[in-house]
Amino acid sequence: MSSYACRICHSSDYELVLDYGSVVPADAFLLSSKAIENEQRLPLTLVICKECRHLQTREVLDPAMLFSEYVWETGIPASIRRYCQEFADAVLVCAGNPEMPSIFEIASNDGTMLKEFKSRGSEVLGVDPARNIAQKANAAGIPTRVDFFGEEVAREVLAQHGEWDIVVARNVLAHVADLHGLIAGLGLLLGPQGTAVIEVPHLLNMYHELQYDQVFHEHIGYHSLDSIIRLCAMHELAVFDVEHIWIHGGTVRAYVTHAAGGRSPTPAVTEMLAEEQSAGILGLEVWQQFGDRAKTQKRLLRAELSSLRESGEMVVGYGASAKGQSMIQFCELDEGLVAYVADKSTMKIGTLAPGSHIPIVSPEQMRSDPVDVVVVFAWNFAREILEQEQEMRERGVKFLHPIPEPHYL
């Protein structure tokens, strides 16, 4: 574990926001109860840089330990597959609708997004560090290099393939300690008139909706448009447009180009920056309040679940996502409060959740059991889950949304 320095400005001066205690990495699912004895608990603390106001974890673990074998697949939620079509439409319009542009994606996962561009005739290439996931992408016809993306990998890709019309970095900034290596590499690969697209969960949503479960060992940085602009400017890149997107509980989609191109920013950029400023998320005070609010939510959720179990109700969870594991461990939940967590991922079904050791089962088991309450740990897919489990709702099963404070849907 490396010593702390801000991943954007390198200052070592920070303020504590929230201490998560010693927790097990959120994707370290256990194959059996025997594996519990070797489980490793590690500190996790959320801090804010006093110099540039970048919110981040103090701890950085070895990325090879976290990402070389991975348990998240982009293509599993139906809403994400639909989203890929919307993304391709929007990006091609913003890039000026080049005919069959070449697309490079950083952290391309199982190739679901690149598949959408390939189906429209584009040349595509992805890079992703997860061997097991990249293998699936390559098998599906999406060329994917197994590697951690940075400046060195970018130079090799540039030598082999040249520059790219569109470079995509979706949900990767949050996972990377070497932000400068990533952005420098992105700039190297981007053609002179090219468009890069950076997506990251929005700090504004994280604050307003108390998304403290965005914090886990794999997710080490939390971004505002302000932090993206600041980071890009250090590498002679400029944000020229921005959108706020519904996915993952509220996401910033920033369109980036070479600063030398002189492209003027749209009013949307100024408006979002003003919104961030007025909400106070670029200051220290609101994040102190954020930490206090998270502790209150923990108390309220535990009280609600304890009351349900004491009255004999069967309570289960839905969504064994990293976010869900973060909340489960922070709130110190166990089988006594949540009997099991249902999830669609075949890689997780039959395992035990990290830290809490709550069993992970299939959605089919949940549907066949006499369940009274489902805690929606995958709250960012709440609408999809409610539609999918309409039959359970019709028989009176209640769905509990845990944030910003527990409420029934």
Comparison of pLDDT for 68 and 171, the residue scoring more:
171
pLDDT score at 99:
81
Compute the distance between CA of residue 380 and CA of residue 139 in angstroms, rounded to an integer: 29
- CB 55, CB 17: distance < 8 Å: yes
Q: What percent of the chain has pLDDT over 90?
A: 79
Count Cβ atoms below 10 Å from residue 99 Cβ, excluding itself: 8
370 closest CA partner among 401, 339, 344, 349: 339
Question: Rounded to the nearest 5°, which phi and psi values hold at 107?
Answer: 60, 60
pLDDT score at 64:
67
Compute the distance between CA of residue 144 and CA of residue 109 in angstroms, rounded to an integer: 9
Average pLDDT value over all residues in the chain: 92
CA distances from 409 to 129, 153, 370 (A): 37, 46, 19
Count Cβ atoms below 10 Å from residue 309 Cβ, excluding itself: 17
Q: State the DSSP code for 4.
A: P
Domains 78-279 and 286-408 share a fold: yes
CA distances from 184 to 67, 154, 201, 205 (A): 21, 9, 21, 28
Compute the distance between CA of residue 85 and CA of residue 116 in angstroms, rounded to an integer: 6
Task: Give the tens place of pLDDT for each residue, 185-243.
Answer: 999 999 999 999 999 999 999 999 999 999 999 999 999 999 999 999 999 999 999 99
Contacts of 184 (CB under 8 A, 6+ apart): 150, 151, 154, 235
pLDDT score at 70:
52
pTM: 0.89
Task: Write out the two tokens for 337.
Answer: 């409060």
- What single-letter amino acid sits at 67? F
Contacts of 38 (CB under 8 A, 6+ apart): none
Q: What percent of the chain has pLDDT over 70?
A: 95
- CB 51, CB 11: distance < 8 Å: yes
pLDDT score at 392:
97
| pLDDT band at 246; cut points 50, 70, 90 | confident
CA angle 56, 237, 282 (to 5 degrees): 35
175 closest CA partner among 210, 199, 143, 146: 199
| pLDDT band at 73; cut points 50, 70, 90 | low
What torsion, rounded to 10 degrees, do the Cα atoms 1, 227, 251, 296 define? 60
Could you tell me whether strands 164-170 and 190-201 are parallel, antiparallel, or unpaired per DSSP bridges?
parallel
Break the chain into its structural domains and give their ranges: 78-279, 286-408
Task: Give the tens place of pLDDT for each residue, 30-48.
Answer: 998 999 999 999 999 999 9
- CATH no. of 286-408: 3.40.50.720
Count Cβ atoms below 10 Å from residue 299 Cβ, excluding itself: 11
- CATH no. of 78-279: 3.40.50.150
| pLDDT band at 276; cut points 50, 70, 90 | very high
